[in-house]
Homo-oligomer: A and B are copies of this chain.
């Protein structure tokens, strides 16, 4: 909360000069390339020239160019196809899902925080899906239900199918912002859901039954009941959690951060 750095040359206070903040050359290189891509002057898919060419254009050493490239590489603005040439790229938003999830864990987010967000997001997703789901996605949900019914006694597989179910739903809702917002659920709920299936004999059947009721409501375009069942479904998760564990206010296990 406190910002108390840079007290050394800051005393002049008023004046006509902007505070000067020197950036290392490799960062300037990265920023320059980034601007070209974000502004659209370099289109995604365009080859970005070889390192030697960039060296000539920027007038810096190749090592410096390479360090700049590494900065962008991590952010997804640069792609390498076959380990070779560099291409400009538009970062896919869910490339950040892993990083965000990991940051959540390292910042000791609680199950409660994740669960509350899940409740809001999943209900919104299912209500939107009720408005606009296509036959194609209804078919995918049916298929998921079939597989789930055959996996009632396979906790790990069923937990994966649970993730798949909600992922299909989010796609059917046709909203990429919500799709991204729910990514941490996928990454962080899984191990707990699996354990929950393993320890609570009724949990698998309840899970599949809720999914069935949701699909049923979606097929009827019944937004209200879809929402009601989703709420029950998410509530069930919490109840199951409290049944086998101490408190939902504990932080998510740090081991979940290790992929």
Chain A residues at the B interface, C-beta cutoff of 8 Å: 5, 26, 35, 38-40, 44, 63, 66-68, 70-71, 73-76, 82, 90-93, 95-96, 99-100, 102-104, 106-107, 109, 112-114, 116-117, 119-121, 123-124, 128, 175-178, 180-181, 184, 254, 257-258
Contact = CB atoms under 8 A, between A and B. Distances in A.
Contacts of A74: 70-71, 74-75
Contact of A176 (B5, B39, B99, B113): B113
B116 A175 contact: yes
A92 B120 contact: no
Given A99-B91, A100-B93, A181-B117, A106 B38 contact: yes
Contacts of A96: 96, 99-100, 103
User: Most chain-B CB neighbours within 10 Å: which of A5, A70, A82, A112?
Assistant: A70
Q: 10 smallest A-B Cβ distances: which pairs?
A: A120-B124, A70-B70, A117-B177, A93-B103, A74-B74, A181-B181, A90-B106, A91-B103, A113-B177, A113-B175
B93 A104 contact: yes
Nearest to A105: B38
Contacts of A71: 70-71, 73-74
A86 to B, nearest CB: 14
A89 to B, nearest CB: 9
A75 B101 CA distance: 13
B177 A38 contact: no
